[in-house]
Amino acid sequence: MVKEFMLLLALTVTDPSGVDRDEKFHVLSRHFDTKNECLEFIQSWESIIQSRGKRAVAEMLDPGWKVEIAKVGCVTPPKIHELPAGGIVPTYGSENDS
């Protein structure tokens, strides 16, 4: 079976001067065969996902930057559509996809 869903961490960012940034980070992690498997995983491990996920992302940032997890959910893997200039824009499925 093809892994059709991924765990999504949606994070907000605060800069070192305490200003909340408009940018949001979406971190995709762990693949699941079904939406139910993904949702059950979140239900069973949410507190660990919250603490470890936040810490893992914070370790990727320069000192002083802070992240908060705004949402944990399940999405279909993104489809990458290349722009003519060479940039990429990911498109994500929604939690309501089956």
Average pLDDT, stretch 6-23? Answer: 94
pTM here is 0.72
CA gap 59, 65 in Å, rounded: 10
Average pLDDT, stretch 56-65? Answer: 92
78 — pLDDT class (breaks 50, 70, 90): confident
Domains of the chain, by residue range, sit at 5-91
Q: What pLDDT was estimated at residue 87?
A: 67
